[in-house]
């Protein structure tokens, strides 16, 4: 009997749980906003990747719910300068500067219903200027 009551209580709790946080923007209203705090990173996918010379991966991310792209840098090993992260689609262009410290970093979003491009400019630990370029499949 106790197990039936526990299962019923657990099912009720799941049914009453709030849905995942809805995105706070969509389309051009998301331009230059943080994808995580706006709720657009949930359900996002990777549209393109590019290895970074110093270690790590640049990723062009796509949010179908918000219809936006942004660039994320995963597992960056660090460098001699800040990361200059840019994403654009048509005439919409968003730039962001992130610390050049080791770890994960991402830039702000741009509305991108079609072709989107991104890049990360950085200086590696040897002082060499590098660029990782990205493009969505619609380009």
Question: Which phi and psi (to 5°) does residue 128 adopt?
Answer: -90, 130
Residue 17 included in any domain: no
Please report, for residues 31, 57, 96, 133, the alpha-carbon distance to residue 110 in angstroms, rounded to integers and kept in the order given: 5, 20, 11, 16
Residue 9 included in any domain: no
How high is the pLDDT of residue 117?
97
Residue 68 included in any domain: yes
Residue 74 included in any domain: yes
Residue 6 included in any domain: no
C-beta separation of 102 from 126 below 8 A: no
Q: Give the residue ranges of DSSP H helices in the chain.
A: 2-16
Q: Which of 120, 137, 139, 130 is nearest to 53 (CA)?
A: 130
Find the CATH number of the domain harbouring 49.
2.60.40
How high is the pLDDT of residue 126?
83
Q: How far apart are the C-alpha atoms of 128 and 14, rounded to whole Å? A: 53
Residue 48 included in any domain: yes
Residue 52 included in any domain: yes
Total domains present in the chain:
1
> What three-state secondary structure class fits 7?
helix
Q: Which residues of the chain have pLDDT under 50?
A: 1-20
* 129 token code pair: 């200027």
Question: 43 lies in which domain range?
Answer: 29-135
> Which tens digit of pLDDT belongs to each residue from 48-81?
999 998 789 999 999 999 999 999 999 998 888 8
How high is the pLDDT of residue 22?
73
């Amino acid at each position: 009997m106790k197990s039936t009551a526990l299962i019923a209580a657990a099912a009720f709790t799941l049914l009453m749980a709030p849905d995942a946080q809805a995105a706070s923007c969509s389309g051009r209203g998301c331009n230059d906003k943080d994808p995580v705090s706006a709720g657009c990173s949930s359900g996002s996918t990777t549209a393109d990747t590019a290895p970074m010379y110093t270690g790590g991966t640049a990723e062009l991310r796509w949010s179908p719910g918000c219809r936006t792209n942004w660039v994320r840098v995963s597992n960056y090993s660090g460098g001699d300068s800040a990361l200059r992260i840019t994403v654009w689609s048509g005439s919409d262009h968003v730039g962001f500067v992130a610390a050049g410290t080791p770890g994960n970093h991402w830039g702000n979003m741009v509305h991108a219903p079609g072709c989107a491009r991104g890049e990360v400019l950085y200086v590696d630990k040897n002082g060499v200027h590098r660029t990782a370029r990205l493009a969505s499949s619609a380009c």
